[in-house]
Protein backbone atom coordinates (compact mmCIF):
# COMPACT_ATOMS: atom_id res chain seq x y z
CA UNK A 1 0.00 0.00 0.00
CA UNK A 2 2.87 2.31 0.85
CA UNK A 3 4.42 1.79 -2.58
CA UNK A 4 1.04 2.18 -4.25
CA UNK A 5 0.43 5.51 -2.53
CA UNK A 6 3.95 6.67 -3.37
CA UNK A 7 3.36 5.90 -7.05
CA UNK A 8 0.02 7.69 -7.01
CA UNK A 9 1.61 10.69 -5.31
CA UNK A 10 4.44 10.79 -7.84
CA UNK A 11 1.95 10.71 -10.69
CA UNK A 12 -0.18 13.42 -9.16
CA UNK A 13 2.87 15.55 -8.47
CA UNK A 14 4.02 15.21 -12.07
CA UNK A 15 0.64 16.31 -13.35
CA UNK A 16 0.39 19.16 -10.87
CA UNK A 17 3.90 20.37 -11.62
CA UNK A 18 3.63 20.32 -15.35
CA UNK A 19 -0.08 20.94 -15.82
CA UNK A 20 -1.30 20.84 -19.39
CA UNK A 21 2.25 20.99 -20.69
CA UNK A 22 2.41 17.20 -20.52
CA UNK A 23 -0.46 16.79 -22.94
CA UNK A 24 0.00 14.98 -26.23
CA UNK A 25 -0.43 18.22 -28.13
CA UNK A 26 0.58 21.77 -27.54
CA UNK A 27 -1.83 24.00 -25.64
CA UNK A 28 -0.21 27.08 -27.17
CA UNK A 29 -3.43 27.87 -29.01
CA UNK A 30 -4.78 28.81 -25.60
CA UNK A 31 -3.58 32.14 -24.23
CA UNK A 32 -1.82 31.08 -21.06
CA UNK A 33 -0.53 34.60 -20.43
CA UNK A 34 -4.04 35.98 -20.11
CA UNK A 35 -6.15 33.52 -18.08
CA UNK A 36 -9.70 34.49 -17.24
CA UNK A 37 -11.60 33.75 -14.04
CA UNK A 38 -15.17 32.91 -14.91
CA UNK A 39 -18.32 31.49 -13.37
CA UNK A 40 -20.76 29.49 -15.41
CA UNK A 41 -23.30 26.72 -15.65
CA UNK A 42 -22.25 23.28 -16.87
CA UNK A 43 -24.22 22.33 -19.97
CA UNK A 44 -22.27 19.11 -20.56
CA UNK A 45 -19.26 17.36 -19.06
CA UNK A 46 -17.48 15.04 -21.48
CA UNK A 47 -15.24 12.55 -19.68
CA UNK A 48 -13.65 11.52 -22.96
CA UNK A 49 -10.29 10.49 -24.38
CA UNK A 50 -7.79 11.74 -25.18
CA UNK A 51 -9.08 14.93 -23.56
CA UNK A 52 -12.10 15.86 -21.52
CA UNK A 53 -14.36 18.82 -22.21
CA UNK A 54 -16.70 21.03 -20.24
CA UNK A 55 -19.39 22.89 -22.18
CA UNK A 56 -19.86 25.88 -19.92
CA UNK A 57 -22.48 28.58 -20.34
CA UNK A 58 -20.89 31.87 -19.39
CA UNK A 59 -22.62 35.24 -19.21
CA UNK A 60 -20.72 38.30 -20.40
CA UNK A 61 -20.87 41.63 -18.61
CA UNK A 62 -24.06 42.48 -20.49
CA UNK A 63 -25.73 39.31 -19.26
CA UNK A 64 -25.66 37.57 -22.63
CA UNK A 65 -25.05 33.83 -22.21
CA UNK A 66 -22.75 31.90 -24.54
CA UNK A 67 -21.63 28.29 -24.49
CA UNK A 68 -17.86 27.79 -24.33
CA UNK A 69 -16.03 24.59 -25.25
CA UNK A 70 -13.31 24.09 -22.63
CA UNK A 71 -10.70 21.35 -23.04
CA UNK A 72 -9.23 19.59 -20.01
CA UNK A 73 -7.00 16.68 -19.14
CA UNK A 74 -7.36 13.05 -20.15
CA UNK A 75 -9.64 10.76 -18.13
CA UNK A 76 -6.62 8.87 -16.79
CA UNK A 77 -5.06 12.12 -15.57
CA UNK A 78 -8.38 13.27 -14.12
CA UNK A 79 -8.79 9.92 -12.38
CA UNK A 80 -5.42 10.38 -10.68
CA UNK A 81 -6.84 13.59 -9.26
CA UNK A 82 -9.98 11.88 -8.03
CA UNK A 83 -12.28 12.94 -10.85
CA UNK A 84 -14.83 10.57 -12.34
CA UNK A 85 -17.40 10.70 -15.11
CA UNK A 86 -19.89 11.85 -12.43
CA UNK A 87 -17.84 14.73 -11.04
CA UNK A 88 -19.95 17.29 -12.88
CA UNK A 89 -23.47 17.21 -14.19
CA UNK A 90 -25.58 19.61 -16.25
CA UNK A 91 -26.77 22.51 -14.15
CA UNK A 92 -23.79 22.57 -11.81
CA UNK A 93 -22.47 26.06 -11.25
CA UNK A 94 -18.68 26.26 -11.21
CA UNK A 95 -15.99 28.88 -11.03
CA UNK A 96 -12.74 28.27 -12.85
CA UNK A 97 -9.71 29.90 -14.37
CA UNK A 98 -9.63 29.22 -18.09
CA UNK A 99 -7.09 29.96 -20.76
CA UNK A 100 -9.07 31.23 -23.76
CA UNK A 101 -8.39 30.60 -27.45
CA UNK A 102 -6.05 33.23 -28.84
CA UNK A 103 -8.59 33.95 -31.57
CA UNK A 104 -11.17 35.23 -29.10
CA UNK A 105 -13.68 32.50 -30.07
CA UNK A 106 -15.60 30.83 -27.22
CA UNK A 107 -13.15 28.01 -26.54
CA UNK A 108 -10.40 27.46 -24.04
CA UNK A 109 -8.65 25.15 -21.61
CA UNK A 110 -9.39 24.28 -18.00
CA UNK A 111 -7.28 22.65 -15.32
CA UNK A 112 -8.27 20.47 -12.35
CA UNK A 113 -6.20 22.68 -10.05
CA UNK A 114 -8.22 25.78 -10.92
CA UNK A 115 -11.85 24.77 -10.74
CA UNK A 116 -14.39 24.44 -7.94
CA UNK A 117 -18.11 24.72 -7.41
CA UNK A 118 -19.53 28.24 -7.30
CA UNK A 119 -20.09 27.95 -3.55
CA UNK A 120 -16.39 27.18 -3.08
CA UNK A 121 -16.74 23.45 -2.47
CA UNK A 122 -14.10 21.26 -4.09
CA UNK A 123 -15.14 19.10 -7.01
CA UNK A 124 -12.66 16.36 -6.13
CA UNK A 125 -11.01 16.28 -2.73
CA UNK A 126 -7.55 15.46 -4.09
CA UNK A 127 -7.24 18.66 -6.11
CA UNK A 128 -8.06 21.13 -3.35
CA UNK B 1 1.93 -16.03 -15.75
CA UNK B 2 -0.43 -13.36 -16.96
CA UNK B 3 -1.84 -11.85 -13.82
CA UNK B 4 -5.63 -11.98 -13.66
CA UNK B 5 -6.97 -8.50 -13.87
CA UNK B 6 -3.99 -7.18 -15.78
CA UNK B 7 -5.55 -8.25 -19.05
CA UNK B 8 -6.72 -5.26 -21.07
CA UNK B 9 -9.19 -5.14 -23.89
CA UNK B 10 -6.13 -4.86 -26.09
CA UNK B 11 -4.75 -8.08 -24.66
CA UNK B 12 -8.07 -9.73 -25.21
CA UNK B 13 -7.81 -8.81 -28.87
CA UNK B 14 -4.24 -10.04 -29.23
CA UNK B 15 -4.48 -13.22 -27.14
CA UNK B 16 -6.89 -15.09 -29.45
CA UNK B 17 -4.59 -14.31 -32.33
CA UNK B 18 -1.65 -15.76 -30.43
CA UNK B 19 -3.70 -18.79 -29.45
CA UNK B 20 -4.82 -19.36 -33.01
CA UNK B 21 -1.24 -19.28 -34.14
CA UNK B 22 -0.25 -21.61 -31.28
CA UNK B 23 2.19 -19.01 -30.00
CA UNK B 24 2.64 -19.28 -26.24
CA UNK B 25 2.70 -16.03 -24.31
CA UNK B 26 6.00 -15.99 -22.45
CA UNK B 27 4.31 -14.65 -19.36
CA UNK B 28 2.08 -17.72 -19.32
CA UNK B 29 5.04 -20.10 -19.29
CA UNK B 30 6.64 -21.49 -16.18
CA UNK B 31 7.74 -19.10 -13.48
CA UNK B 32 11.35 -19.80 -14.35
CA UNK B 33 10.84 -18.31 -17.79
CA UNK B 34 13.98 -17.04 -19.44
CA UNK B 35 12.18 -13.79 -20.20
CA UNK B 36 12.02 -10.91 -17.70
CA UNK B 37 8.75 -10.29 -15.89
CA UNK B 38 7.29 -7.27 -17.68
CA UNK B 39 3.64 -7.88 -16.85
CA UNK B 40 1.48 -5.20 -15.31
CA UNK B 41 0.80 -1.56 -16.00
CA UNK B 42 3.73 0.81 -16.58
CA UNK B 43 3.45 4.54 -15.92
CA UNK B 44 6.04 7.03 -17.06
CA UNK B 45 8.18 8.72 -14.44
CA UNK B 46 9.30 11.68 -16.57
CA UNK B 47 8.01 14.86 -18.13
CA UNK B 48 7.08 13.68 -21.64
CA UNK B 49 9.42 15.92 -23.56
CA UNK B 50 12.65 15.18 -25.36
CA UNK B 51 14.14 18.45 -24.08
CA UNK B 52 13.47 20.07 -20.73
CA UNK B 53 14.48 23.54 -19.58
CA UNK B 54 17.33 25.10 -21.55
CA UNK B 55 18.34 21.87 -23.30
CA UNK B 56 18.57 22.24 -27.09
CA UNK B 57 17.79 19.45 -29.54
CA UNK B 58 20.82 18.53 -31.72
CA UNK B 59 19.17 19.59 -34.96
CA UNK B 60 20.90 20.56 -38.17
CA UNK B 61 20.64 24.29 -38.98
CA UNK B 62 17.97 23.50 -41.58
CA UNK B 63 15.80 21.59 -39.13
CA UNK B 64 16.45 24.04 -36.31
CA UNK B 65 14.60 26.50 -38.55
CA UNK B 66 11.79 23.96 -39.00
CA UNK B 67 11.59 23.57 -35.23
CA UNK B 68 11.50 27.32 -34.72
CA UNK B 69 8.74 27.56 -37.31
CA UNK B 70 6.79 24.87 -35.43
CA UNK B 71 7.20 26.81 -32.17
CA UNK B 72 6.09 30.01 -33.86
CA UNK B 73 3.07 28.26 -35.36
CA UNK B 74 2.06 26.91 -31.95
CA UNK B 75 2.54 30.30 -30.33
CA UNK B 76 0.12 31.64 -32.91
CA UNK B 77 -2.47 28.96 -32.16
CA UNK B 78 -1.43 26.30 -34.67
CA UNK B 79 -0.59 22.62 -34.22
CA UNK B 80 3.13 23.04 -34.98
CA UNK B 81 3.13 19.93 -37.18
CA UNK B 82 2.46 17.68 -34.15
CA UNK B 83 0.30 15.02 -35.82
CA UNK B 84 -1.62 13.93 -32.73
CA UNK B 85 -3.09 17.45 -32.56
CA UNK B 86 -5.58 16.27 -35.18
CA UNK B 87 -5.79 12.64 -34.09
CA UNK B 88 -3.05 11.01 -36.14
CA UNK B 89 -1.07 8.42 -34.16
CA UNK B 90 1.92 9.80 -32.30
CA UNK B 91 4.12 7.08 -33.75
CA UNK B 92 7.70 6.31 -32.89
CA UNK B 93 9.34 7.52 -30.78
CA UNK B 94 6.78 10.00 -29.41
CA UNK B 95 4.43 7.20 -28.35
CA UNK B 96 7.07 6.01 -25.88
CA UNK B 97 6.36 9.16 -23.88
CA UNK B 98 3.53 6.96 -22.59
CA UNK B 99 1.04 9.76 -22.04
CA UNK B 100 -1.19 6.98 -20.74
CA UNK B 101 -0.12 3.66 -19.19
CA UNK B 102 1.78 1.06 -21.19
CA UNK B 103 1.48 -2.70 -21.32
CA UNK B 104 4.25 -5.00 -22.51
CA UNK B 105 3.34 -8.51 -23.63
CA UNK B 106 6.25 -10.81 -24.28
CA UNK B 107 5.86 -13.77 -26.58
CA UNK B 108 8.85 -15.72 -27.88
CA UNK B 109 8.51 -14.47 -31.43
CA UNK B 110 7.01 -11.03 -30.86
CA UNK B 111 6.90 -8.49 -28.05
CA UNK B 112 3.84 -6.26 -28.10
CA UNK B 113 3.81 -2.76 -26.59
CA UNK B 114 0.30 -1.42 -26.11
CA UNK B 115 -0.39 2.21 -25.30
CA UNK B 116 -3.85 3.73 -25.50
CA UNK B 117 -3.45 7.43 -25.98
CA UNK B 118 -5.04 9.49 -28.73
CA UNK B 119 -5.96 6.11 -30.19
CA UNK B 120 -5.34 2.50 -29.19
CA UNK B 121 -1.75 2.17 -30.37
CA UNK B 122 0.53 -0.81 -30.47
CA UNK B 123 3.99 -1.87 -31.51
CA UNK B 124 4.97 -5.30 -32.73
CA UNK B 125 8.63 -6.01 -32.07
CA UNK B 126 9.55 -9.11 -34.04
CA UNK B 127 12.03 -11.35 -32.19
CA UNK B 128 11.74 -14.30 -34.55
CA UNK B 129 15.08 -13.74 -36.26
CA UNK B 130 13.65 -12.26 -39.42
CA UNK B 131 15.56 -10.02 -41.79
CA UNK B 132 14.54 -6.51 -42.78
CA UNK B 133 11.86 -6.43 -45.48
CA UNK B 134 12.41 -4.97 -48.92
CA UNK B 135 12.41 -1.16 -48.61
CA UNK B 136 10.88 -0.90 -52.06
CA UNK B 137 7.71 -2.68 -51.01
CA UNK B 138 7.46 -1.82 -47.31
CA UNK B 139 4.91 0.81 -46.39
CA UNK B 140 6.07 3.24 -43.70
CA UNK B 141 3.69 3.30 -40.72
CA UNK B 142 3.54 5.57 -37.70
CA UNK B 143 4.85 3.00 -35.21
CA UNK B 144 7.41 1.72 -37.69
CA UNK B 145 8.68 -1.79 -38.33
CA UNK B 146 10.60 -3.15 -35.33
CA UNK B 147 13.00 -6.07 -35.09
CA UNK B 148 14.25 -7.05 -31.66
CA UNK B 149 16.74 -9.42 -30.09
CA UNK B 150 16.76 -10.69 -26.52
CA UNK B 151 20.18 -10.54 -24.86
CA UNK B 152 21.47 -12.49 -21.84
CA UNK B 153 24.06 -9.98 -20.73
CA UNK B 154 25.21 -11.61 -17.50
CA UNK B 155 25.17 -15.18 -18.75
CA UNK B 156 22.76 -16.49 -16.12
CA UNK B 157 20.53 -18.18 -18.68
CA UNK B 158 17.85 -15.47 -18.53
CA UNK B 159 17.33 -12.59 -20.90
CA UNK B 160 18.10 -9.13 -19.49
CA UNK B 161 17.75 -6.72 -22.39
CA UNK B 162 15.56 -6.43 -25.45
CA UNK B 163 17.50 -4.61 -28.16
CA UNK B 164 15.21 -3.12 -30.78
CA UNK B 165 15.71 -1.35 -34.06
CA UNK B 166 12.81 0.41 -35.74
CA UNK B 167 12.72 1.55 -39.36
CA UNK B 168 10.05 2.52 -41.89
CA UNK B 169 8.49 5.21 -39.69
CA UNK B 170 5.92 7.32 -41.45
CA UNK B 171 6.08 11.11 -41.39
CA UNK B 172 4.92 13.43 -39.99
CA UNK B 173 6.19 12.57 -36.57
CA UNK B 174 7.86 14.50 -33.80
CA UNK B 175 9.57 13.64 -30.54
CA UNK B 176 7.01 15.33 -28.35
CA UNK B 177 4.30 17.99 -28.21
CA UNK B 178 6.91 20.73 -28.56
CA UNK B 179 7.19 19.91 -32.25
CA UNK B 180 10.87 18.86 -32.40
CA UNK B 181 10.89 17.57 -35.98
CA UNK B 182 12.17 14.52 -37.78
CA UNK B 183 13.40 14.74 -41.34
CA UNK B 184 10.63 14.28 -43.85
CA UNK B 185 12.46 11.55 -45.78
CA UNK B 186 11.09 8.66 -43.63
CA UNK B 187 14.67 7.42 -43.13
CA UNK B 188 14.76 7.75 -39.33
CA UNK B 189 16.07 4.75 -37.38
CA UNK B 190 15.28 4.31 -33.69
CA UNK B 191 17.42 1.97 -31.58
CA UNK B 192 16.31 0.94 -28.11
CA UNK B 193 17.51 -1.06 -25.14
CA UNK B 194 14.60 -2.12 -22.95
CA UNK B 195 15.46 -3.63 -19.57
CA UNK B 196 14.45 -3.84 -15.94
CA UNK B 197 16.44 -1.87 -13.41
CA UNK B 198 18.89 -4.16 -11.61
CA UNK B 199 18.03 -2.72 -8.19
CA UNK B 200 14.32 -2.19 -8.76
CA UNK B 201 12.40 -4.79 -10.73
CA UNK B 202 9.40 -2.47 -10.84
CA UNK B 203 11.33 0.12 -12.84
CA UNK B 204 11.60 -0.37 -16.60
CA UNK B 205 14.21 1.44 -18.69
CA UNK B 206 14.07 2.28 -22.37
CA UNK B 207 17.24 3.85 -23.76
CA UNK B 208 16.04 5.40 -27.02
CA UNK B 209 18.57 6.50 -29.64
CA UNK B 210 17.30 8.42 -32.64
CA UNK B 211 19.29 8.47 -35.86
CA UNK B 212 17.83 10.89 -38.38
CA UNK B 213 18.98 13.22 -41.11
CA UNK B 214 17.50 16.19 -39.23
CA UNK B 215 20.00 15.57 -36.40
CA UNK B 216 23.70 16.40 -36.20
CA UNK B 217 24.30 12.93 -34.70
CA UNK B 218 22.60 10.12 -32.76
CA UNK B 219 20.44 11.43 -29.91
CA UNK B 220 19.84 9.21 -26.88
CA UNK B 221 17.25 9.64 -24.14
CA UNK B 222 16.55 7.30 -21.24
CA UNK B 223 12.89 6.78 -20.45
CA UNK B 224 11.78 5.04 -17.26
CA UNK B 225 8.43 3.59 -16.32
CA UNK B 226 7.19 2.50 -12.88
CA UNK B 227 5.10 -0.62 -12.49
CA UNK B 228 1.68 0.06 -10.96
CA UNK B 229 1.50 -2.08 -7.81
CA UNK B 230 -2.26 -2.34 -8.21
CA UNK B 231 -2.79 -5.94 -9.39
CA UNK B 232 -6.02 -4.97 -11.15
CA UNK B 233 -5.19 -1.84 -13.12
CA UNK B 234 -7.76 -0.17 -15.33
CA UNK B 235 -7.11 0.16 -19.06
CA UNK B 236 -9.03 2.71 -21.08
CA UNK B 237 -9.87 2.60 -24.76
CA UNK B 238 -9.09 5.75 -26.73
CA UNK B 239 -10.67 6.81 -29.99
CA UNK B 240 -9.59 10.36 -30.69
CA UNK B 241 -11.93 11.02 -33.57
CA UNK B 242 -14.92 10.47 -31.29
CA UNK B 243 -14.58 13.64 -29.28
CA UNK B 244 -11.66 15.65 -30.60
CA UNK B 245 -12.36 19.36 -30.93
CA UNK B 246 -9.29 20.11 -33.00
CA UNK B 247 -9.76 19.98 -36.75
CA UNK B 248 -7.33 20.51 -39.60
CA UNK B 249 -8.67 21.64 -42.96
CA UNK B 250 -6.01 22.08 -45.59
CA UNK B 251 -3.15 23.42 -43.52
CA UNK B 252 -5.31 25.41 -41.15
CA UNK B 253 -6.33 24.40 -37.64
CA UNK B 254 -9.79 25.01 -36.19
CA UNK B 255 -11.44 24.31 -32.84
CA UNK B 256 -15.02 23.08 -32.65
CA UNK B 257 -17.67 25.05 -30.84
CA UNK B 258 -20.10 23.30 -28.49
CA UNK B 259 -22.58 23.05 -31.36
CA UNK B 260 -20.00 21.53 -33.72
CA UNK B 261 -19.15 24.59 -35.78
CA UNK B 262 -15.67 25.67 -36.74
CA UNK B 263 -13.99 28.30 -34.62
CA UNK B 264 -10.63 29.94 -35.41
CA UNK B 265 -7.64 29.20 -33.20
CA UNK B 266 -5.56 32.07 -34.55
CA UNK B 267 -6.27 35.74 -34.30
CA UNK B 268 -7.71 37.12 -37.54
CA UNK B 269 -7.82 33.60 -39.05
CA UNK B 270 -9.79 33.31 -42.27
CA UNK B 271 -12.64 30.79 -42.59
CA UNK B 272 -11.94 27.68 -44.67
CA UNK B 273 -12.09 27.77 -48.43
CA UNK B 274 -15.62 26.72 -49.47
CA UNK B 275 -15.14 26.97 -53.23
CA UNK B 276 -16.59 23.48 -53.84
CA UNK B 277 -19.92 24.26 -52.18
CA UNK B 278 -22.94 25.58 -54.09
CA UNK B 279 -21.35 25.09 -57.48
CA UNK B 280 -23.45 26.07 -60.46
CA UNK B 281 -24.10 23.15 -62.81
User: Per residue in B91-105, pLDDT tens?
Assistant: 999 999 998 899 999
Do B258 and A69 lie within an 8 Å CB cutoff? yes
B93 touches chain A (CB under 8 A): no
Mean pLDDT of chain B: 88
Question: In 3-state terms, what secondary structure has residue B275?
Answer: coil
Answer with the residue of higher pLDDT: A124 or B22. A124
CA-based nearest distance B173→chain A, Å:
12
Q: What angle do CA B257, A81, B223 make, to 5 degrees?
A: 95
Give me the residues paired with residue B206 across strands.
B194, B223
Mean pLDDT of B240-264: 90
- The whole-number pLDDT of residue A126 equals 58
Q: How confident is the model at residue B280 (pLDDT cuts 50, 70, 90)?
A: confident
B257 touches chain A (CB under 8 A): yes
Do B74 and A50 lie within an 8 Å CB cutoff? no
Are the C-beta atoms of A50 and B116 separated by less than 8 Å? Answer: no
Q: What is the ipTM of this complex?
A: 0.76
Per residue in B151-206, pLDDT (tens digit) is: 999 999 999 999 999 999 998 889 999 999 999 898 999 999 999 999 999 999 99
Do B47 and A48 lie within an 8 Å CB cutoff? no
Task: Give DSSP secondary structure letters for chain A.
Answer: -HHHHHHHHHHHHHHHHHGGGGSSS--TTB-TTS-EEEEEEEEEEE--SS--EEEEEEE-TTS-EEEEEEE---HHHHHHTT--TTS--TT-EEEEEEEEBTT-SSEEE--GGGEEETTS--SSGGG-
Do B226 and A10 lie within an 8 Å CB cutoff? yes
pLDDT greater than 50 at residue B231: yes
Q: Which of residues 98-137 of B touch A (CB under 8 A)?
A: 99-101, 116-118
Distance CA A26, CA B178 (A): 6
- The whole-number pLDDT of residue B250 equals 85
Do A28 and B264 lie within an 8 Å CB cutoff? no
Using a CB-CB distance cutoff of 8 angstroms, which residues of chain A are in contact with residue B230? 4
Name the pairing type of β-strands A107-109 and A65-71: parallel
Distance CA B142, CA B117 (A): 14
Percentage, residues of chain B above pLDDT 70: 88
CA-based nearest distance B26→chain A, Å:
26
CA-based nearest distance B30→chain A, Å:
27
- The whole-number pLDDT of residue B57 equals 97
Do A103 and B228 lie within an 8 Å CB cutoff? no
pTM value is 0.81
Q: How confident is the model at residue B130 (pLDDT cuts 50, 70, 90)?
A: very high
| C-alpha pair distances (Å), B207 with each of A48, A62, B91, B162, B267 | 32, 57, 17, 11, 41
Instruction: Using 70 as the pLDDT threshold, list the residues of chain A that sit under it.
Output: 1-24, 125-128
Do B229 and A104 lie within an 8 Å CB cutoff? no
Q: How confident is the model at residue B20 (pLDDT cuts 50, 70, 90)?
A: very low
Q: Which of residues 132-171 of B touch A (CB under 8 A)?
A: none
Name which of A54-63, B25-34, B124-133 the model is least confident about: B25-34
Amino acid sequence: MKTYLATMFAGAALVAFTGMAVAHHSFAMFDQEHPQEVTGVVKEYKYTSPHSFIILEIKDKDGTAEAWNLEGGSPSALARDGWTSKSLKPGDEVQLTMEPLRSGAPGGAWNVNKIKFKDGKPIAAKTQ
Amino acid sequence: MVRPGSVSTFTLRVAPLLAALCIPIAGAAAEDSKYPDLKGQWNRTFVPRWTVGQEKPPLTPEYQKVYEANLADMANGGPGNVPSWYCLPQGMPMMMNAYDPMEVIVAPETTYILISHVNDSYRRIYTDGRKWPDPETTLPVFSGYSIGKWIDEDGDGKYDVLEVETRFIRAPHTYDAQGIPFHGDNQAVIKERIYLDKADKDLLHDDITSIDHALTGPWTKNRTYKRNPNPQPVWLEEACAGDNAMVKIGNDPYFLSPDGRLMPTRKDQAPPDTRYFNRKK
